[in-house]
Structure 1
Amino acid sequence: MKLKILSLFVALAAGVGHASAAEGELAIGTEGAYPPWSMADAAGNVTGFDADVGNLLCEKLAVKCRFVVQAFDGLIPALKAKRFDVIISGMSITEDRRKEIDFSVGYAELANMFVAPKGSDLAAITDYDTLLKALDGKKVGVQAGTTHAHFLEKKVPDADIKTYDTLDQMQIDLATGRIDTAFADVSALQDFLAKPDGKNFQLVDVKILSTVDPTLGEGVGVGIAKDNTELKAKINKALCELVADGSVGKSSEKWFKMDISRPCQ
């Protein structure tokens, strides 16, 4: 997983410039534990929407994909350390992250929601402002290092926010009653609801889009090192073509049962 990049980005790894995208390999950092965005098996094989987007990009750029599995909150430091060339991991584009790395155009966006036990006071709420007020004093689960975590810290500072390295850890605490609710994108929560542990839970009927607050970002993009302008231009062109021809939408229909592709702005 940590082999030296051999062709396209060997010059980048050495800090002496950029090579042609047709010359070799694209190393992609991804979490591997955020279904259906990114799932990695014991052998390190990666599947999910992120893997599809990566493979589509590699095909467009005529390079070989190599996925590197990394904890989500370590993805940006690892990219800056040149452990891989790009991040494709359901990462929302935010101003804070732009201070550290660059991004491609946004290519996808999915609503964010809370999940709560059926019959609970939270589960009955349908209004955004009422929901935020009701979260005061509640134990709220969220994955560390995400836009969801930053949103909670900003909007509900009086909640008892519990952060987790992975969704699985958060879902275990939710199922066992250690937390009152959890906040994530709707796809991750639907995955939980489809499991036996999720049978007594439901989505809170308040969809929270990135337009509500800039903390939630500007859609999902490919993370790229700030000095790699040549690669950014190639990825932007490829992504816009893949969204326009329906390839990204087709993949999102497969994984999310809906088209979450985002046309180039």
Structure 2
Amino acid sequence: MKLKLLSLAALMALGLNAAHAAEGELVIGTEGAYPPFSMADASGNVTGFDADVGNAVCEKLNLKCRFVVQAFDGLIPALNAKRFDIIISGMSITDERKKQIDFSNSYAEFPNQFVAKKGSPLAEANDLDTLKKDLNGLRVGVQGGTTHAAYVEKNMPDAQLMTYDTLDQMQIDLSSGRLDTAFSDTSAQNDFLAKPEGGDFVLVPYVIDSASDATLGDGLGIGIRKDEAELKDKINAALCELGADGTLKASSEKWFKMDISRNCK
């Protein structure tokens, strides 16, 4: 059903131009295959932490949300091609990405870990030097185009890096023995461990904080085209309100069982 048009006065009050809200909606690009950040069902309905963030931002801006599912490594090109207005997809703010797009303030941050087979030497690694040594020659799965891929490529040059389009594809190869380990954020790893196919695996004890290496970025941000300063200001204001009123914290605890939200500094 066609969404109701916002009045010109309402658009001016929001500080958004008609390109964003021509039909009273904000179009959001997301991967839809990275639980619990974003999951899309067969009908294209998107749920998860980032879906909550998107819907809450839209509510603050008095706009309807419409999610467009796109492979993660195609999100930035699609944003710049104006297929959607913003990206909300567990995307870390990095210097490399900032060459292509702009970002909102960070709304969340998370730790990162490897998973390993129970009883393997890697499963006992509790410091970075041991981790690097134990990864030598191992087949390490990462999702392509992510900060995790960049981190392994930079810091574990003796590992066999294997990239995947989606988290599901990576986890299938991990559980079937075609990978020795995989690297992702802790929440996604816990989601895998909770599945039957993850029963033989454990988290590697050493936790890699996003602040420990520039390749991992400075928390999660909403991707915005570089020519959208007014939209960025409005989104930042909305995120500040959502942090202050506890919305981000509540959604984070619902999906991750812990608070990974960030409030305005």
TM-score, structure 2 as length reference: 0.92
Give the drift of 1:129. 2.0
Tell me the percent identity: 69
Q: Given residue 174 of structure 2, which amino acid in structure 1 is its aligned partner? A: L
Give the structure 1 partner of residue 12 of structure 2: none
What is residue 105 of structure 1 aligned with on the other side?
105
Moved over 6 A (4+): 20-23
Q: 1:70 aligns to what? A: 70
Q: Which residue of 2 aligns with 1:240?
A: 240
| Mapping of residues 211-226 of structure 1, within 5 Å | 211-226=211-226
User: Where does residue 93 of structure 1 map in the other structure?
Assistant: 93
**Cα deviations across residues 10-54 of structure 1 (Å, max 9, x unaligned)?**
xxxxxxx93497771100000000000000001000000010000
What secondary structure sits across from 2:66 in the alignment?
strand
Contact 1:210/1:218 (8 A) holds in 2: yes
* Contact preservation (8 Å) 2:6, 2:21: no
Question: Relative to structure 1, is the Cα distance of residues 7 and 81 closer, same or farther in structure 2, using a 3 angstrom cutoff?
Answer: farther
Ranges in structure 2 where 5+ consecutive residues have no aligned partner: 8-15
Looking at structure 2, the residues matched to 20 and 32 of structure 1 have their Cα atoms a distance apart, in angstroms, of: 24
Q: State the alpha-carbon separation in 1 of the partners of residues 208 and 138 from structure 2.
A: 19
8 Å CA contact 1:26, 1:85 repeated in 2? yes
Does 2:35 correspond to 1:38? no
Work out whether 1:152 is the aligned partner of 2:152. yes
The residue aligned with 1:189 is 189
CA contact (8 A) 1:106 1:221 kept: yes
Check whether the contact 1:118–1:201 (CA below 8 A) recurs between aligned residues. Answer: yes
Consecutive unaligned residues of structure 1, counting only runs of 5 or more, are 9-16
| Partners of 2:146 and 2:224 in 1: CA distance | 17
Partner of 2:177: 177
Question: Does structure 1 residue 29 correspond to structure 2 residue 1?
Answer: no
Match of 2:130 in 1: 130
In the superposition, the TM-score normalised over structure 1's length comes to 0.92
Q: Report the RMSD for the aligned CA atoms in angstroms.
A: 1.7
Inter-partner Cα distance in structure 2 for 1:215 and 1:125: 21
Inter-CA distance 227–7: structure 2 relative to 1 (3 Å threshold): farther
Q: Is the 8 A contact 1:21 1:63 kept in 2?
A: no
1:124, 1:20 → 2: CA distance?
53
